[in-house]
């Protein structure tokens, strides 16, 4: 994530104020991919396509790794270039999908969120 985010200085500071090229192990030890084979928890991921803080390729990579390992996962990618979901329609999609996800995986009730008739939140 270091090379894809606009807050490289923050990560560098928290990991000994050294570049990843000088101290790869510190960065690797913070990487979810190092521990991904232990993942079991169903995971829903929401990301804005052009988010400068949490780059969408990181979310796609996590989603694909979980999928390959058979962990229930869902990825929602919203249009935009902000850190956060500014469009009220997409905020509603996020809220409704998260509620359905929690009902299904935490409370053991209801159904997973699904789109009907090809409806899309990207208009």
Closest of 82, 83, 9, 71 to residue 40, by C-alpha:
71
Task: Give the pLDDT score at 116.
Answer: 58
Position 27 scores a pLDDT of 78
Q: Would you list the domain boundaries of the chain?
A: 1-30, 40-123
Its pTM surpasses 0.85: no
Give the span between the Cα atoms of 80 and 50, in whole angstroms: 6
pLDDT at 37: 96
CA distance 3 to 8: 7
> Which pLDDT belongs to residue 77?
95
3-state secondary structure of 76: strand
pLDDT in the model for residue 122? 44
Residue 10, pLDDT score: 66
Instruction: Tell me what pLDDT residue 117 has.
Output: 43
pLDDT at 120: 45
Q: What is the mean pLDDT of each run of 10 residues along the chain (123 residues)?
A: 65 73 82 93 95 90 96 95 91 94 93 62 41
Looking at residue 4, its pLDDT comes to 65
């Amino acid at each position: 994530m270091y090379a894809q985010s606009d807050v490289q200085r923050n990560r560098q500071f928290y990991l000994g104020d050294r570049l990843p090229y000088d101290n790869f192990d510190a960065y690797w030890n913070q990487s979810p991919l190092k521990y991904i084979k232990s993942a079991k928890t169903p995971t829903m991921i929401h990301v804005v396509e052009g988010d400068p803080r949490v780059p969408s390729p990181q979310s796609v990579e996590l989603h694909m790794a979980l999928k390959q390992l058979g962990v229930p996962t869902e990825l929602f990618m919203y249009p935009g270039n902000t850190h956060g979901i500014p469009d009220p329609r997409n905020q509603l999609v996020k809220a409704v999908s998260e509620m359905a996800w929690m009902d299904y995986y935490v409370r053991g009730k209801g159904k997973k969120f699904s789109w009907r008739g090809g409806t899309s939140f990207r208009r």
